[in-house]
Amino acid sequence: MKINRVRYLKGPNYFSYSPTLLIELDIEELEYQPSDIIPGFNEALMASMPSLLSHTCSPGYTGGFFDRLKRGTWMGHILEHIAIELQNLAGIEVKRGKTIAGENPGIYYVTYSYKEEKSGLCAFNSAVKIVESILSESKPVKIESYVAEIEELYYANKLGPSTEAIYQAALKAEIPVQHIGDDSLLRLGTGSRQKFVQATITSQTSNLAVEHSCDKQMTKDILTNCGLPVPIGMVASTLEEIFLKADLIGYPLVLKPLKGRQGQGVMTNIKNREQLFNIVNCLETEGESYIIERYYQGSDYRLLVVNGQLVAASMRIPPYIIGNGTDTIQELIELENKNPLRGDDHEKPMTKIPLDHSVSCYLEKMNLSLQSIPEKGDIIQVVGNANLSTGGKAIDVTDQVHATIKDIAVSAAKAINLDIAGIDVICPDISKSFNREELAIIEVNAAPGIRMHHFPSEGKKRDVGAAIVNYLFKDRTEAAIPIIAITGTNGKTTTARLVSHFLSEVGRKVGMANSDGVYIGGQCIDEGDCSGPISARKVLANPNVDYAVLETARGGILREGLAFRHCDVGIITNVAEDHLGSDGIVTFEQLVKLKRLIAEVVHESGYCILNAEDSNVAKMSSHSKGKIIYTSLTEQNGLVKEALQEGAVVWYVNDSGWIIYACEGKKERFLLGSDIPITINGTAKHNLANLLQALAAAYSQGVTMDQLRERALCFYPDSELSKGRFNIRELNGRKIIIDYAHNVSGLAAIFDTVKNFAKRRVVSVIAGPGDRKDEDLRKMAELLSKHSDILMLKEDDNLRGREPLEVAKIMKETAINKHMSKKNVLIVPKEPDAYREAWELSKPGDLLLFFYTDFDYVTAFFSKIAKPTLN
């Protein structure tokens, strides 16, 4: 077996709305060996992974997958199920998978859900190794090492608990969220509405407040000035000062680093000078300052404040071991650290108890060491604080916090000016009213961990992640700029340009990504085909953008999925046969399903704009949660008539050529279609169809009719507003049309537009895309030969897997066999040469059609031949 390609479909995709791994697999000779004819394979697999018996598979019942094995299924499908189950055995809950056969024998597209990339791919590689081992040895395989590797990769690379809680809360609230970089930075929201969160520090958090909270003495000074309760304490920088100030404060006391974090180096309940000596003897005091303060008897509580509200509270218990009379303290800690709930750092609900210098120091104060053997039943605290990061446990006490203590916590957060703060207090009973003699604020923490509240050892889970998200945004509309997504076979770029043109106004910046580039407020920040998710994310991440207009092509969806979970307006222009046979999309029905994804992700508060004249597009209405708006070039369309009767929104062209907006039984005339420049005096029906959908989109977003009329009349099909889309040049008695049409339906639209143009001859210059089927290339050549007097065949710079001149020869042969004489079908491989030769062959009165691949070649042609700039 051989893996040809791996793709991580991060956004909504052809197979699922959630992240999906797609693996193009060649099972080679196993194509002829389904599972029912491989001796002993099924038995060995089920013995290796008996949990596969729970898989329902397509039959839909428990054991369905095993029945498929017995009846015979292919290795791609088997690997899909193994990869899913290995992840589940590693503690990664995933379910969905699907395997489809490719066009060529042995090729399968295996897809399944994943939550983290490295562990997700490891699951498949492990599945391959398990299967190969069974095939070679004909006996069960031990899978424990594979599961352990997947688990290790997952926890090493996944988001930390606090970050993941916020991430999941944002998803639940339908607020766009993206993980940035390799650390814990999240961007919530899009465009001009975006905000950031790193750990639990937000883009609203004061940097000065963070600095103050990190300086424990500064924190105490600020709180003291507010009259809030803090322990009496002093700062010491030398050994002599530590002992001197300890005597002044009196025992018991607490010793902690002045600028420590996560409880590191904190030593509590130091009862006398001897214990202090033992601890100090272990400390690295060189260059370090410490706070020495009064020790308060009571429990350790963490109170979590978000935006002036107490949202969670936990009682924290320091890590301890219970002696058995046999094992050392170190062995007992190692045993506790095998608890599956404990992991390294913050990867699991609890952290492993450290076996480091701080533990040795803390034990030292009790004249113990890691090698001491406690008596059976002895309970020994092994770390001097109760932080989760040093192995502590948390018990939820949110509902028990007395109102007066809530006020103390909220006041402390406000005093430091932290929007999100973890307030650490010591008191005997948090359910009792505040008593100054018994309660003290020990610390005020910026970036407080929220793991303890989401995964308490005891008590109710508290969704602090949701509280943080709700603080940043009231709802989705506050967070997400409107997204207008356009897909289809033809017309996407023109429609996107029109929508952007209609939405643009002073004080409102539109970001657009299309097949020509990425534009922010009219400024091009990237060139080339930018109709995929990478370019879309550039628009959505730009802090200046108020509206996102995103051309969404099939290639980007297949490579990576969508760059967004929801859009506010989804436009599907049309669906025609194109690109079939690549990336697993081999049938027209599959292509329709792929394009339908935009309709499916329209938010329930949004609009789905469908071309009623394309039956395959019109049927997508049942797959969208958005409000359906039909567009049509004729009011005689059955769906349009039905929608008008129901009072639905429709944009159409009436029998007199007027564009009509209809809603709730009322009709309003917009403009005559022939008066709008983009329609080329009403002859460019494809542009008129694009215009209707763009008008519907812009009007749904609040652009007024008068504004739309004004902007429609000033949108010209020139190289400034609509580069490369039916641009017309008059030169030396010839008319030259530049367009990007590159499939049968696109070419048909161009020829339909120019059929009434006055012309002597038609000279067409075109290259067939190398990634199309031979049959599609022949259809293009037949259409070109029918409408062209001279056909000039060039080649793309990118042959897309074809041999040099292979495509041109296929098209030339077809054109000659159909309608054209041999002398009028020429192959000129290089695009610049083809334009020049077509020009030289032309005569006044001719119409030249330049179907370009690279617009720069067109620009270069006119700069040499015509000198003036291209319109």
Strand partners, 256: 291
Query: CA-to-CA distance for 6 and 111, rounded, in angstroms?
Result: 10
- Write down the residue that tokens 């465009």 correspond to: 191
351 within domain boundaries: yes
The answer to whether residue 198 scores a pLDDT higher than 80 is: yes
Within 8 A by CB and 6+ apart from 646, the residues are none
Rounded percentage of the chain residues whose pLDDT exceeds 70: 97
Asked whether residue 164 is assigned to any structural domain, the reply reads no
Give the domain-ending residue among 130, 157, 184. 157
Give the range among 36-50, 322-336, 723-737, 819-833 with minimum mean pLDDT. Answer: 322-336
Distances, alpha carbon 574 to alpha carbons 134, 526, 591, 615, in Å: 49, 27, 11, 9
Region 661-666: what's the mean pLDDT?
94
Top mean pLDDT of 187-196, 585-594, 861-870 is at 187-196
Query: Which span out of 391-400, 578-587, 650-659 was modeled with the highest average pLDDT?
Result: 650-659
Query: Taken in order 519, 520, 524, 528, is the CA torsion positive or negative?
Result: negative
400/309 same-domain check? yes
Q: Which domain holds residue 243?
A: 209-471
Give the closest residue to 486 by CA, choosing from 557, 538, 550. 550
Last residue of a domain, one of 650, 685, 712: 712
**DSSP labels, 616-660:** HHHGGGGG-SSEEEEEES-TT-HHHHHHHHHT--EEEE-TTSEEE
Question: Please, how many CA atoms are within 13 Å of residue 717, restricted to the half-sphere of its CB?
Answer: 27
Let me know if residue 162 belongs to a domain. no
Q: Is the pLDDT of residue 350 over 80?
A: no
CATH number of the domain to which 634 belongs: 3.40.1190.10
Residue-wise pLDDT tens digits, 545-578 = 999 999 999 989 999 999 999 999 999 999 988 7
Q: Which of 687, 712, 737 is where one domain is finished?
A: 712
Residue 281 has pLDDT above 90, yes or no: no
107 plus 219 within the same structural domain: no
Whether residues 129 and 221 fall in one domain: no
Residues 382 and 251 placed together within one structural domain of the fold: yes
pLDDT of residue 287: 61
Give yes or no for a contact between 716 and 680, defined as CB atoms under 8 angstroms apart: no
| Residue 60 pLDDT | 83
Q: What mean pLDDT, rounded, does the chain reach?
A: 92
Q: Are residues 700 and 790 in the same domain?
A: no
For residue 462, what is the domain's CATH number?
Answer: 3.30.470.20
What is the tally of structural domains in the chain? 4
Helix (H, G, I), strand (E, B) or coil at 125: helix
Q: Please give the order of strands across the beta sheet that includes 201-202.
A: 177-180, 185-188, 195-198, 201-202
Residue 869 has pLDDT above 50, yes or no: no
Residue 337: its pLDDT value, please? 85
The verdict on 384 and 431 lying in the same domain is yes
> Which H or E run contains 556?
helix 554-560
Give pLDDT tens digits for 364-391: 878 888 999 988 888 888 886 667 777 7
In a domain, 197, yes or no: no
Judge whether 414 lies within some domain: yes
Give the integer Cα–Cα distance in Å for 540 and 542: 6
**Looking at the domain assignment, is residue 787 inside a domain?**
yes
Question: What is the spatial distance between Cα 417 and Cα 826, in angstroms, rounded to a whole number?
Answer: 75
Residues 645 and 553 in one domain: yes
Is-contact 599 681, C-beta < 8 A? no
Compute the residue count for the chain: 871
| Cβ 45 vs Cβ 134: under 8 Å | yes
Mark whether 700 and 736 lie in a shared domain: no
Is the preceding peptide bond at 257 cis, omega within 30 degrees of 0?
Answer: no
The answer to the question of residue 203 being in a domain is no
- What pLDDT is attached to residue 867? 54
Q: Are residues 224 and 337 in the same domain?
A: yes
Amino acid 237: pLDDT: 85
- What is each CA distance from 671 to 62, 131, 655, 660, 713, in whole angstroms? 61, 66, 13, 8, 9
Quick one: tokens of 300? 């350790």
Statement to judge: residues 679 and 795 lie in one domain: no
Alpha-carbon distances, residue 192 vs 249, 354, 508, 532 (angstroms): 53, 44, 10, 21
- Are 528 and 597 part of one and the same domain? yes
Q: Which is more confident, 389 or 77?
A: 77
Write the CA distances from 455 to 335, 394, 445, 464, 596, integer angstroms: 21, 8, 19, 11, 40
| Domain shared by 332 and 457, yes or no | yes
Give pLDDT tens digits for 710-753: 999 999 999 899 999 999 999 999 999 999 998 999 999 999 99
Question: Average pLDDT for residues 669-694, to the nearest whole number?
Answer: 96
pLDDT at 581: 64
The pLDDT, as a whole number, for residue 482 is 98
pLDDT, one tens digit per residue, over 789-833 is 999 999 998 888 899 999 999 999 999 998 899 999 999 999 999
Task: Please tell me the predicted confidence (pLDDT) of residue 866.
Answer: 59
% pLDDT > 90, the chain: 75
- Helix, coil or strand: residue 104: coil
Residue 401 lies in a domain: yes
Q: How many angstroms separate the CA atoms of 842 and 850, rounded?
A: 13
The enclosing domain of 841 has a CATH number of 3.90.190.20
CA angle, 500 then 503 then 509, to 5°:
85
